[in-house]
Amino acid sequence: DARVTQTPRDKVTEMGQEVTMRCQPILGHNTVFWYRQTMMQGLELLAYFRNRAPLDDSGMPKDRFSAEMPDATLATLKIQPSEPRDSAVYFCASLRDSNTGELFFGEGSRLTVL
Amino acid sequence: RKEVEQDPGPFNVPEGATVAFNCTYSNSASQSFFWYRQDCRKEPKLLMSVYSSGNEDGRFTAQLNRASQYISLLIRDSKLSDSATYLCVVPRGGSQGNLIFGKGTKLSVKP
């Protein structure tokens, strides 16, 4: 049963520390998204890639966030330095390049920055 | 108008009730729309696609009103297991690759 895999599931860190979240999209899915979800803002698109090329990262604070896809099986989202306002659930999702619009989400990485 | 807007609820309904949610969107160029379901502390999952002619799947019916720029989701004979948050999703700029999620409408079905 193919699924998107994210690590870590939960992360508690202190302000100022670097945080790296990883995502393995479903094999064959060529579009990969990073979303952040909070109670106040809901699901916000941070960045997305198609065929590993970044298409849009306008939703991401560029001074501290960076997203990369070093290869087709790995997407990373890095926060450096982390701040308490970064506390949220970060979802990775992948999409097979079709017209179904069905995003497959990972289980999310719950980040708490103290 | 916000890109995607939903009533956050919660909608508290008894089992067997019929409940409907609306979602408004701002981009008139959008061609297709979606409803996702998210259970508490879980990831969102696709519930239904909404095309110009609407879509029905069992107890669930989704409809599109282009003139007024809203989509709706109707749940008939609601079950306890329908309790979740329902997210309205619209492509930004008409592109399938960049989906904008509403903040969701919370539904709680009571015995």
Query: How does pLDDT run across B17-33, given as a tens digit for each residue?
Result: 999 999 999 887 777 78
CA distance A23 to B56: 34
User: CB distance A43–B45 less than 8 Å?
Assistant: no
Residue A90, pLDDT score: 98
Per-residue pLDDT band for A100 (boundaries 50, 70, 90) equals: low
Q: Mean pLDDT in chain A?
A: 93
Portion of chain B with pLDDT greater than 90, in percent: 69
User: CB distance B96–A42 less than 8 Å?
Assistant: no
Could you say which residues of chain B have pLDDT below 70? 93-97
Q: Indicate whether A99 pLDDT > 70.
A: no
Mutation for A interface: B99, B100, B105, B106, most A CBs within 10 A: B99
For residue A48, the chain B residues in CB contact (below 8 A) are 97-98
Please give the sequence-ordered ranges of beta strands (E in DSSP) within chain A, or none if there are none. 5-7, 10-13, 19-24, 31-38, 42-50, 53-56, 65-71, 74-79, 88-95, 104-105, 109-113
Q: Which residues, at least 6 apart from A110, have a Cβ–Cβ distance to it below 8 Å? A: A9, A10, A11, A89
Each residue of A31-84: pLDDT tens digit? 999 999 999 899 999 999 999 999 888 889 889 999 999 999 999 999 999 999
